Structure 1
Amino acid sequence: MNILARPTEQIRKIFFLLLFLFAALTFAQNFAQAQHLRLVRSSAQTGATAANTQIDIRIAYELGMSRPTTHLYEVTMTATNVRQPFIEVQFPTWVPGAYRTIDAARNVQEFRAGTTAGQTLPFTKTDTKTWRVETRGNSTLRVGYQVYADQLNVSGIHLDDTHAYFNGALLFPYIVGAKDRPVTLTINKPPRWATISTGLESAQGRASTFPAPDYDTFIDAPTEIGNQNVLRFNYQNIPYEIAIYGNHNYDLRKFQSDVESIVQSQVNMFGGAPYRRYVFIFHMTPSGGGGLEHLNSTSIGLRKYNGATEDGLDRFRGVTSHEFFHLWNVKRIRPDVLGPFNYAAQVPTRYLYISEGMTSYYGDLHILRSGVWTPEKYYKQQASQIQTLQRLPGRRILSVEESSINTWYTPDNSANNSFSYYTKGDILGMLLDLEIRQRTKNSRSLDDVFLLLYEKYALPKPGFPPGGFEAAVEEVAGSNFKEFFAKYVNGTEELPYERILAYAGLRLERKNDPTKPDLGITFPSEATANAIGINITGVSSESPAYNVLAPNDVILAVGGERTNATLFPLQVARFREGERVPMTIFRGDRLLEVSMTLVARPTVTYAISEDPSASAEQRALRAAWLIGKRT
C-alpha cells in the first residue's frame, strides 16, 4: 500500500499545486479587471477613458463663417498622432462660471468624420453629447460639423451679418482623455471684418491662428469678430483692450475711465496682475445680459441705451468690477472641484457663496475704493443687499452652503425656500471683513484672507480643499471662527448686522413705508396700458396672500375693476387694514372669485449710515476698510 500510496500522494500534491496556481491566476485576473474598472470609472468622472490614456494627440480646430446670415458656423477638428482604435469627441454639458446645464451639442448638425486623404470613417453617437469615431489604423483624423449660433449672451454663441461671437465651450468639443493636449485654432473670417478680440494670443506671424496649451485654456477665451469699437489702455506695462459691439449712448471717455479705475484698484490689492494682457468684451443689446468671467478676459452684456442714467452706469460699473475680480476669485482662487474641469457632469460645490457672493462684495467695494462711488453710495448698495435677503423666507430654512449646491436647479417654490448665494455671500463678505478687522485691532482683513488663499492655492496649484477657506480666515485672524461659520454659513441664524456694522461706527436703520404695502406677491413689473391681468410668479409664505393666491394664477380684476401690473398696487391701496380685497382670477381654466384680508404689512426699507457718536477707534476701522488699508 505504501508503494501504491506514493503516486497517489504526489498526484494529490500536484492537484493542490495546480488548484493554488489557478486560484492565484483567477485572483490576478479579477484584480486586474477591478483595477481596469476603477480606471474607467475614474476616467469617466474626469472626462477621460482607459482607451485614451497616455496619448500624445495634437488637436487643431478651424472655424469658418462663410454664410453668416444662416447663423451656421463651420468647424473642422483635426487630430494627429492618434494611436487608439477609436476616439470619443465630446461636447461640454456646462460652461465654467455659468453653473447650469447648457448641452452644447444640441445645436450641432451634419457631423462627419474621415481622414485628411478623404477616406470616410465610421462613427456612432453614443449619447447626447458624444460621438465615437473609429480610426481604422489612421493616425490623423478629421471631424467636421456645423453649429447653429443665434444666442447673443455671455455664455452663448452668435453669428450674423454684423459680427461673430462665441464662447468656445458651445462650439468646440474635446477628445475624451486628451483635454490636457495642446490646441490651435485658425479663424477664417470675412474680409470685411477687421478685428478679432480674444484673450488668446495669436501665433507669431499668423494673426488668425491662436495656440493654447490645453482645452481648459482654449475655451476660456470668448471671442468677438467684426468691426467692433476697440479702446485700449495700459497699467503697470500690461495692455488692456475694451471691445464694444453694438450701438449705444455711453460716453466712451468716461466708460474707459471707469474701467481703468476699477482695474487699478483691484490690481493694487493683489500686488500685480497674473496675465500678460486682458480683454473686456461688451455687447450692447436691448436687454443686456450679465457677465461671465474668464482667465484673462470677460464677456459682458449691457443695455445699449442705459448710458445716460446713473442707474445704468452703476449697472455697467457693478458687473464690470464683479467680472474683473473673478480673474482672482474663481479663475485662480477656487474650490478644488472647479478645475481642471469635468465638463461631462454637474460639478456642485458648497463654496459658491465665496466664489460668487464675495466676488460681488469686492466688486462693489472696489468701485468705492477706486473713487468712482462715494461711501454713501456704497452704504446704499449694501443696505439694498440686506433688504433683498431679509424679504426672502428661504433664508430661514436654507443655509448659504446649501444654496450654493442647489444652483444647478431652481425649485418650483423658490420664492419661499430659496435665496441667492450672491446676495448672502456679499453680505457675509462685508461682515466677515469687519469681524476680522475688529478682532485684530484693524491690523488684518478679508483682503489678507484672499491674499493667503492666492499664495497657497492659486492656479496652477490645486484649489482650496473643504475647510480651506475657513482655515485661512482663522490663520489670518489668529482666532476661532467656528461659531461664526456654524451659525451664519452652515446654519440659518439671522445675520448680526447691527453688532458687526457698529465696529465701523455704522448703524443699520429699518423703516416701515406704509404707503407701499408689501402684499408678498411677485409678478412681471412691466405692463402696457391695455394689458389685462397679471400673472403671479410667486407668493411669499409670510404674506396674507399665501392662503388665497398661488403661482400661475392670473388676476383679472380687483374690486370689479380690470387690473394690470401697473394698476394692481394702486387698486389694493384703496382698501384699509382689515378690509377684504375681492379679486377675480383665473386658476388654470377656472374663473374664480376670491378675497384676502388686508393686513398691516408695510414694506420694510433698510439704510446704512455713519454714527455721529462713533469713537475714534470705530472711525479708524471704517476709514481703513473703505480705502483698503490696515492700521
Structure 2
Amino acid sequence: MKRTTLLRFVLAVFIGISQTVNGQTKEIRYRYETSLKALSNDKLAVRLKIEGFSEDSLTYCFPKIIPGIYGAMNFGQYVSSFEVFDKKGKKLKTEKTDVNSWKIQDAQRIASVSYLVDDAWEAFDDKMIGGFYRSAASSFSDSSFVITPNSLFGYFRGHINHPIEVSIRKGINLYPATSLKKTVKPDHDLFLAKDYHQLVDNPILYALPDTTMIQLPGISVEVACYSTSGKRISKDIAEYIRPLLINQTKYLNNKLPVDRYTFLIYHSLAPNRTHIIGDGLEHSNSTLILLYMPLDIQTIRQNIYGIASHEFFHTLMPLGLHSVEIENYDYNEPVFSKHLWLYEGMTEYFTMHMPIKTGLRTDKEFYKIVEGKIADMKHFDPKLAMTDLSLHPMEMQDQYYNVYLKGALINLCLDIKLRELSGGEYGTKDLVLDLMAHYKGKAFEDKQLFPEMINVSGYPEVKEFISSYIEGTEALPLEEMLLKVGLKLEDGKISEVENATAEQLKLRKDWLR
C-alpha cells in the first residue's frame, strides 16, 4: 500500500515556531499526554497543552486522509467529549464544523484541549470493509496498542510545523517500538517529533517486548512483533527478512536513503488458511504490517516477504522522490500527484525485479508473476490513463488496484526500453537513483517530472513512451518489449523464443541478471 509522508526523520534542536503576543514572543509547541493504563471502553483520554496563538479563532482538525492511502478515513469520527480550556480552566466555546474539525473562539486563550479517542478496529480479521485501511488506524487492548498518531493526535489548521512532544503512561511491561526519537522509562515514555508530518509518519506498537535487531552495513533494522497467540516470533521473522534486506541493498547499489528502519508486525491468530490477509502501510523509517493467519511460521514468512519488500522499497519513492503535493500534504483537503505509476507502480516492479536480479527467483518464477499481472490487469478499465487515476484516486477506488498491475507492467516495459537504448547498461533502477540524486531530497514540481526523466536519462525516445502509455491509453507493448529480450507472449503465457538471437539473449541477461 501506501504512503507515505514524506519528510525524512531529522532530529533537530527543537526551536519552536513562535508568534508575538502583546509584544512578547511565545513559542508554540504541542505537548500531548495520554495513559494506556486508563483505557476505558476501548477509549483513551488525550490531553494537549499548548498556548501562544494570536488568532481570534482557530480550527482543530483530525486528518480526513493520510499519505499512502487513497480513501477518506475521517479519523475525527472516533473522537468524542472534545473540550478546550484557558489557563484558569474555563471552557472555551467550540463548534464542530464537520466530522474532522472543531472551530474554537478566543483562540489566544487556548491553554489545553481534551478529548476521548475510540479505536477504529478491535481485531485484525477477515471482516474487511471496502475503503477502510486498518493499517492507517489504531487498535487498543489491554495487551497491545497499535497507535497510528493520526488517529490519536490532531493539529490546529495553519499550525502544522510546530515541534511536538508526546508523553504516554503505560503498564510497566509494555515496550514501545517506533522510529520516533524516544525516551523509555519504566512507567511512561516520551516521544519527540519536529512537526505534525513527522509525528504522523511514525506509528507506535506497544506490547510485551518481542524485538530483534538486524545490523547491516549502513543500516540498523528493528523487527518488533506482537502475536495474539502470545508466542514470540520476531527472531524467526528477522532471520528471514535479513537476506531480503541484504539483497535489496545490493539491488540499490548499496545506496540506501535511510540508516535505520523499524518493522512493526501485528499478528492476529486465524483459525485456518481459508482467509489469509496481510496489510501494510509504509512510512519514511518504518512499516506497519498487520497479519491475519495461523501461527505457522512458514506462512507468516511467505506473506511478510512480499509486504516487507514492497514497503521497504517505498523509502525510494515516494519517501525519497516525490512531488510538492506530497511533501506539503494537506490532511483534510489533499491535492494528489499524477505519479502513482512511479510511487506504487515502480515500487511494485522493483519488488518483482529484485529477486530475479539478485538470484533469489528463477526465470520461470518471474515469468509467472508477470503473467499474473497481465491477467489481472484485464479486469480494469484499459482506457483510463495512469496519470488520471493518480489525480483522482478517491473517486476511482474500483480502479485503484491497477496501479500495482498496469503500473508495474508500464515500468517493466520502460526498463526494457531503456536497456535497449543503452545497450543494456541503463534501466529504471538507474533512472530512479539518478532522479533522486538530481533532486537531492527536494520535492519536484508535478508537471516537471516527465521532462526531467527525459533529461536525466539522456534518451529523448522516453518522451513518446510517456505520452503513449503513462499519460495516454495505448495498449502496453508487452509482446513487442518481451520479444526484444527473446521472450514470446501468447495467450497470456510467456515462453522463451527458440533460436533467439545473440542480441536478444544479451539484452535479456542485462535485464534479468
Name the TM-score class by shorter chain.
0.7 to 0.9
Give the alignment's Cα RMSD to 1 decimal: 2.9
Kindly indicate whether residue 507 of structure 2 is the aligned counterpart of residue 621 of structure 1: yes
CA contact (8 A) 1:250 1:307 kept: no
Structure 2 CA distance for aligned equivalents of residues 308 and 134 of structure 1: 55
AA aligned opposite 2:449: G
Partner of 2:476: 495
Q: How does 1:450-489 map to 2 (within 5 A)?
A: 450-457=432-439, 459=441, 461-489=442-470
Match of 1:81 among 41, 49, 52: 52
User: Which aligned runs of 4 or more in structure 1 are off by greater than 4 angstroms?
Assistant: 203-207, 247-254, 306-310
User: 1:102 Cα deviation (Å)?
Assistant: 0.8
Whole-angstrom CA distance in 1 between matches of 2:74 and 2:454: 37
> 72, 83, 100: which one pairs with 1:112?
83
Check whether the contact 1:203–1:209 (CA below 8 A) recurs between aligned residues.
yes
1:392 correspondence with 2:379: yes
TM-score (normalised: structure 1): 0.69
Structure 1 counterpart of 2:292, from 292, 300, 303: 303
Structure 1 residues 382 and 228, CA gap change in structure 2 (3 angstroms): farther
Partner of 1:260, secondary structure, is: helix
Partner Cα distance (2:414, 2:295) in 1:
34
Deviation per residue, 1:262-281 (Å, 9 max, x gap) = 32233341543333421001
Task: Summarize the Cα distance change of 1:304–1:247 in structure 2 as closer, same or farther, 3 Å threshold.
Answer: farther
The reply on whether 1:315 has 2:303 as its aligned counterpart is yes
Alignment partners' CA distance in 1, 2:27 and 2:391: 36
Q: Residue 257 of structure 1: CA displacement?
A: 3.4
Do 1:506 and 1:610's aligned partners in 2 also have CA atoms closer than 8 Å?
yes
State which of 421, 425, 440 in structure 2 corresponds to 1:443: 425
Structure 2 length as normaliser, TM-score?
0.84
Structure 1: runs of 5 or more not aligned:
1-49, 511-605
Per-residue displacement from partner, 1:275-305 (whole Å, max 9, x unpaired)?
Answer: 3421001122235342111010011122332
Q: Is the 8 A contact 1:436 1:477 kept in 2?
A: no
1:271-310 paired onto structure 2 within 5 Å: 271-285=254-268, 286=270, 288-305=277-294, 307=296
Q: Within 2, Cα distance between the matches of 1:51 and 1:356?
A: 43
Aligned length: 472
| Residue matched to 1:407 | 393
1:77-226 alignment, distance < 5 Å? 77-135=48-106, 137-138=108-109, 141-151=111-121, 152=124, 153-193=134-174, 195-203=175-183, 208-226=189-207
State the AA in 1 paired with 2:388.
Answer: E
Q: Deviations over 1:359-388 (max 9, x none)?
A: 111122223344432232122111110111
Q: CA deviation at 1:228?
A: 5.0
Q: Which whole-Å CA distance do the structure 1 matches of 2:295 and 2:371 have between them?
A: 23
Distance 2:26 2:353 in 1: 47
Give the 3 Å change call, closer, same or farther, for CA 69–616 of structure 1 in structure 2: farther
* C-alpha contact (below 8 Å) 1:318/1:364 kept by paired residues: no
**C-alpha distance in 2 between matches for 1:114 and 1:182:** 21
1:70 alignment partner in structure 2: 41
2:219 equivalent to 1:238: yes
2:244 aligned residue: 262
Assess if the C-alpha contact under 8 Å between 1:86 and 1:135 holds in 2. Answer: yes
- How far does residue 496 in structure 1 lie from its aligned partner after superposition? 1.1
Q: Is residue 2:490 matched to residue 1:509?
A: yes
Unaligned runs of 5+ in 2: 1-18, 125-133, 271-275
Cα displacement (A) at 1:183: 0.9
CA contact (8 A) 1:437 1:445 kept: yes
Aligned to 1:441, what secondary structure does the other structure show? coil
8 Å contact kept, 2:160–2:196: yes
Match of 1:24 in 2: none
Q: Percent identity?
A: 25
Contact preservation (8 Å) 1:452, 1:472: no
Larger Rg: 1
What secondary structure is seen at the aligned counterpart in 2 of 1:145?
Answer: strand
After TM superposition, the structure 1 stretch with the greater mean CA deviation from structure 2, 145-154 or 196-205, is 196-205
Aligned to 1:521: none
Alignment of 1:589-604 (within 5 A): none
How far 1:157 sits from its partner (Å)?
A: 0.6
Task: Find the aligned partners of 1:93 and 1:240 in 2 and give their Cα distance.
Answer: 31
Q: In 2 relative to 1, CA 306–495 (structure 1 residues): closer, same or farther, beyond 3 Å?
A: farther
What does the per-residue CA deviation read over 1:160-211, in whole Å, with 9 as the maximum and x for residues that have no partner? 1220112111221111111111111111112232x10111011498971111
- Contact 2:211-2:234 at 8 Å conserved across structures: no
- Give, as a single letter, the amino acid of the residue that structure 1 aligns with 2:466: F
